[in-house]
Structure 1
Amino acid sequence: MSGQLEIVEAEALKLTLEERARLADRLIASLSKDAQIEEAWAAEVERRIAEIEAGRVTVVPAAEAIARARDALA
């Protein structure tokens, strides 16, 4: 990973959950040339943020989620 990318990543991880979700949405949209896909991702991000804010889902740290997935596949 480049030094600049590491700096951007470290700064991004300091953002709130909602800010990180919106940043992720924008980054994904910047990779896509298909407006329909961009709109679908934007809607999905907003839906997930709303579920988290409403308390309907519990967030799990990425390391824990990966460990659970590996355990399930083992």
Structure 2
Amino acid sequence: MINDLKEIENSALNLNKKDKARLADKLLQSIHGKIDPEIEQAWIDEVQKRKESLESGKASLHSASDVLHEAKKRI
């Protein structure tokens, strides 16, 4: 069994990014069950909205360390 697992791991690590993502999704579904399509679509919509905000300049990204540093200054 351990040898089989190592062989599967090695094969998975040699996949391209798209196939790795697809495999990861299948494995997670096998653990957690199928995701509710409405919830999945809501997250896709949210990600798209955030992406558009970043691209238009309405939002900006900040590192966690910068955010924590700023928060500590305000306390």
TM-score range, shorter chain: 0.3 to 0.5
Task: Tell which has more relative contact order, 1 or 2 (C-alpha 8 A, sep 6+).
Answer: 1
Larger Rg: 2
